[in-house]
Amino acid sequence: MGDLSGKTFLVTGANTGIGKETVRGLAGRGARVVLAGRSEERTRAAIREVAAETGNTDLDFLPLDLGDLASVRATAATFLDSGERLDVLVNNAGLAGKRGMTASGFELAFGTNHVGPFLLTELLRDRIAETGPGRIVNVASTGHYRAKGIDWDAVRRPTVTRTAFDEYCVSKLANILHARELGRRLEGTGVTTYSLHPGAIASDVWREVPFGVRHVMKLFMRSPEEGARTSLYCATSPDVAGHTGRYYDEQREKQPSAVATDELAAELWARSEEWVTPAPRG
């Protein structure tokens, strides 16, 4: 990665798993890192741990609930009001295996894994462009290959499947489509975008899966430290500085699902913009 002194990164879902290992890798190279997440207690504990290990104390907490668009707006406003630079946004936070709806009215995985990050990215992207060459990284999943497309009605209803895995896969397809269309829209701004599969990782993204099943799953998974490698590669490597909108796995570019077309990416973008635009009053 090289020396990252003077650069600021914002990482969502940063208090555990892949997110915390991403922060550890960035902080160890001298970066300033803002950790955004729901639990202040857990995030501050992660900050203390990373600071003690790396000697880097330039770490801060921002409260963020991606399932609540009001929270997303408040988080972005707090960061923007600080006036500080933002070199890289890592949309790492994810949820799997839990059924329901978000506070903002979306299927739980889709709302948390796509709609919230979409809005956060929209609110922060001008700051990244102003800072000068920057990056936006979406942590997706190889699970996106399982998705056959996006059912626009289903993403506005509670989770249907018992395991919520099909819905999770749709949300990860959305992460890839988002990075693809965002990369196209940001051409010429100096901001590049990436989506990636971190590997099958024993992280807290599976916390809602029943204990026995989760324990067996994790026996066959890699560590969060290994999972952070491709996130760090996309966020910092000069090898991909000239690339945008592409999908990565094992620190290499990979062809995403055939479903991940420009047409679907454009439609998802249009619908996402509509979803996150506040309704006019009166």
Domain-wise residue ranges, the chain:
8-274
Of the chain, the end-to-end C-alpha distance in Å amounts to 51
pLDDT at 123 over 90: yes
pLDDT at 212 over 80: no
Contact 44, 26 (CB under 8 A): no
Q: What is the pLDDT of residue 227?
A: 78
Q: Are strands 134-139 and 88-91 parallel, antiparallel or unpaired?
A: parallel
Q: What is the pLDDT of residue 220?
A: 47
The encoded tokens of residue 125 equal 């992207």
Whether domain 8-274 has CATH 2.40.50.180: no
Per-residue pLDDT band for 278 (boundaries 50, 70, 90) equals confident
pLDDT, one tens digit per residue, over 65-87 is: 999 999 999 999 999 999 999 99
Distance CA 253, CA 240 (A): 9
Distance CA 8, CA 56 (A): 13
Distance CA 62, CA 74 (A): 10
Distance CA 246, CA 120 (A): 20
- List 145, 168, 233, 247, catalytic entry: 168
The encoded tokens of residue 117 equal 């990050």
Contact 152, 209 (CB under 8 A): no
Contact 72, 118 (CB under 8 A): no
The encoded tokens of residue 246 equal 């592409």
Q: What is the pLDDT of residue 217?
A: 46
**Summary mean pLDDT of the chain:** 92
Q: Is 266 helix (H, G, I), strand (E, B) or coil?
A: helix
Per-residue pLDDT band for 280 (boundaries 50, 70, 90) equals confident
Distance CA 60, CA 83 (A): 15
pLDDT, one tens digit per residue, over 20-69 is: 999 999 999 999 999 999 999 999 999 999 999 999 999 999 999 999 99
pLDDT at 214 over 50: no
Angle of helix 17-27 versus helix 40-54 axis, rounded to 10: 40
233 carries an active-site annotation: no
Per-residue pLDDT band for 208 (boundaries 50, 70, 90) equals low
**Largest separation between any pair of C-alpha atoms in the chain:** 55
